[in-house]
Structure 1
Amino acid sequence: MAADKVSQRKEDLLEVIFEIVQDKGYAKSRDIAAALQITPATVTDGFKRLSDAGLVNYEPYGGVTLTEAGSRIARRTKDSHQTLQRLLELAGVEKETADSEACIMEHGLSPDSCDKINRIVAFVEECITDSEMNQRFREILNDSDAAHYHK
């Protein structure tokens, strides 16, 4: 069942579990509820569903950890988020907005698309270290009539 399509809500839950486990070594429902601004009961229900899908190891009243399959999904979701956030920030979107919008977009991105976007982001970041390219890049971003760049 872990190979089935995972919902956006489950991906968000897996991603937060991943981040908290990386920080603390385990995750409790109250940590996740606070991070996602949802009720602990909703988190517990999510734990049960993720456990049934083989994505987490869950003990009632204990912590939760990711299985290998859950960890793969969480890493993919986190990587997609970071890639999209970097892309949006490069485009001049404010950090907080880029983070929020990346969260919306990350769920529909295939691993292949994420990899390709990541390569483009890395290329642009490398190019703009050159002062002439950086100046040109900033001009493009600040041009209100950017339609002529889409030839």
Structure 2
Amino acid sequence: MKKLTPKKEDYLKIIFELGGKQRKVSNKQIAEGLSVAAGSVTEMVAKLVTEGLVEHTPYAGISLTAAGIEIAENLIRRHRLWETFLVSKLNYKLQDVHDDAEVLEHATSENLVMHLDQFLEHPKRCPHGGMIPRADSQYVEESYDLLVDAQDGETKTVDRFVDNHELLTYLDEIDLDIDDELKIKEHVPFQGPVKVELVRTGEELNISYNAAHYIFVK
């Protein structure tokens, strides 16, 4: 696998998470997903384009090339296996798992990845709902339907969250989990919250406009 800096790897992973294997994602989505300035995204995307790892179409967005997809899948596999281990075996809180999984993924040989996968009995999804690519790169594609795009009156199931510490802390605070059913009540105008009913409790939640862009539903 091509050797990249950790920052470049983070960009490939977030582009992948946001759907950049199949569609264009925006600078703004990447910036908010990584909690970095928009100017930093522009600069890094230009470098990744030069290296043949992403494609950037002005006014349309950014997507991964075949080479970028291969690297991102490998990184995502390692990262999400470690997240699964840390949460399921060491009782990490979901919002606290990312940084240690990041360290571990970079220190993991292919042999260790294989044994970790076997030890965990080949999990298909990580704790925040993301699919885990198999060693042969086969997997069920993730959902790319966003909560913010759901129509008022629809009922949706939470499928996954983007792996972002601030987002996951926020979702823990409002007690929103993977596989929760949500009845969409109202999109408050002018970038207001998405009002939903949490079916399992009957509680009404006001999910922030920004968070609703990083919650995938089906």
Per the normalisation by structure 1, the TM-score is 0.71
Partner of 1:62: 60
- Normalized per residue, which structure has more strand? 2
Contact 2:28 2:38 in 1 (8 A): yes
Match of 1:39 among 37, 40, 43: 37
Contact 1:33 1:43 in 2 (8 A): yes
CA distance in 1, matches of 2:47, 2:21: 24
Q: Percent identity?
A: 26
4+ residue runs over 4 A deviation: none
Displacement of 1:24:
7.8
Letter aligned with residue 64 of structure 1: I
Contact 1:76 1:111 in 2 (8 A): no
- SS at the partner of 2:92? coil
Does 1 or 2 have the higher relative contact order (CA < 8 Å, sep 6+)? 1
Partner of 1:7: 5
Letter aligned with residue 65 of structure 2: T
Cα RMSD after superposing both structures: 2.1
- SS at the partner of 2:91? coil
* CA spacing shift, 1:14–1:29, aligned 2, 3 Å: same
- The gaps in structure 2 that reach 5 residues or longer are 123-218
- SS at the partner of 1:38? coil
Cα deviation digits, residues 21-67 of structure 1 (max 9, x gap): 26982211110000000011111111111111111111344311101
Contact 2:26 2:62 in 1 (8 A): yes
Contact 2:82 2:105 in 1 (8 A): yes
- Normalized per residue, which structure has more helix? 1
* CA spacing shift, 1:91–1:12, aligned 2, 3 Å: same
- The gaps in structure 1 that reach 5 residues or longer are 124-151
Contact 1:81 1:102 in 2 (8 A): yes
Larger Rg: 1
